[in-house]
Structure 1
């Protein structure tokens, strides 16, 4: 019960009720600020009031007249009766509560679906990024293979010997060179760690001279 309501019930000035409460709490060794709170008066100014439980209200009333005590006691009984017998909700209030519960349910469902969709989208993006990265890596690897003369279009003697585990000898390139010269083909040159650049002979030359299929030799790399 607030000190303002006690003032109304007892007919005392609110200032006097607050003074009595402060004295009572001081005698009990309690901090008045723990029971105090603020409100706006009629002129929109901040004022202080005190909120007391039943025990502190009874203690305060011991210094008041019997008529004042009785007025407050009756008010306490009214408040307790309201708590003991809660008001039955109207049909409209029941509908509003049901609608609020349904809205909360829909909100939770929407948030869950959004979280699932976001997780799926992130997963798809990661997968697409990984696939793109892998594809780029494959293209780069193929490009390096081509630059080193190890693919289905052309290959160096060293690359073929390494891939097939054979040895064509120091003059193994000459039949390939003759084939290119006879057919007007200019073989490509590719980087070589040892010699700077070496000749990569075309697939047709390998097939014609040594019956070597570069697609088979290098696992179908392009």
Structure 2
């Protein structure tokens, strides 16, 4: 019995992912690209061959490794009695569909090219909401995506600011530690704002000073000079700032 002519589009040659609205973008409802396939059932209609023959050809080509392993799906189709039935069919990508048609009926390659152009055109067409409920759902998904992007942006800004503050604090702490170390070293060698040796002051001012006046001031004011190490003389005295100021009118804070 000759097969009845089937209405176009009933086999569902275009198979898209079910997440219809998650791919919509705010403002223009554009849809992201999704994989497009052609079923073995539609190929059988294009080349006017029995679907079982097309399936066997696909299976032979897969066994030989000529085409990739195609997934299967149950599609609705109208049989010879005009009833809707579920048919198990392979889903092929563009390249593999050309290989199958070349094996079955090369003369139908032109029809295959036309059908692929149609499928790819449909895949690039934006999916617009068909009713109020779908439009509302699309809006909710778009707002959720926008909120997610805002959260990710704010987190990135906060992270960048935190890193900047941490680096600044670390740099300040390092600088402070360096200053403290320098001051500690200066006190150890008798060349700081609190006290200084005669050698240290002479090196800074270029003038000569006697220690007797400094010792006399310390005795009269119950002040004790510090003992610091000197490379030339061993241990020497480092005289207090007040002694230098009273005896020689030198403010250690201005020269160190």
Mean Cα deviation higher: 177-186 or 53-62: 53-62
* Structure 1 residues 53-132: aligned runs within 5 Å: 60=104, 89-132=130-173
Q: Deviations over 1:143-170 (max 9, x none)?
A: 11111112232110011112222122xx
> Given the superposition, is the C-alpha separation of residues 207 and 36 from structure 1 closer, same or farther in structure 2, using an over 3 Å criterion?
closer
Q: Provide the residue aligned with 2:39 in structure 1.
A: 2
* The one of 193, 199, 214 aligned to 2:237: 199
Structure 2 gaps, min length 5: 1-37, 75-87, 107-114
Give the match's secondary structure for 1:93.
helix
The structure whose Rg is larger is 1
Q: Provide the residue aligned with 2:174 in structure 1.
A: 133
| 1:37 maps to 2:70 | yes
Q: Provide the residue aligned with 2:26 in structure 1.
A: none
Question: In the alignment, is the contact (CA less than 8 A) between 1:188 and 1:201 conserved in 2?
Answer: yes
Count matched residues: 188
* Structure 1 residues 140-219: aligned runs within 5 Å: 140-168=181-209, 172-218=210-256
Question: In the alignment, is the contact (CA less than 8 A) between 1:152 and 1:203 conserved in 2?
Answer: yes
Alpha-carbon separation, structure 2, partners of 1:207 and 1:107: 68
Give the structure with the higher percent helix: 1
User: Scaled by the length of structure 2, what TM-score is found?
Assistant: 0.57
> Given the superposition, is the C-alpha separation of residues 195 and 22 from structure 1 closer, same or farther in structure 2, using an over 3 Å criterion?
same
> Given the superposition, is the C-alpha separation of residues 188 and 88 from structure 1 closer, same or farther in structure 2, using an over 3 Å criterion?
closer
Alpha-carbon separation, structure 2, partners of 1:155 and 1:124: 39
Alpha-carbon separation, structure 1, partners of 2:183 and 2:99: 89
Q: Provide the residue aligned with 2:24 in structure 1.
A: none
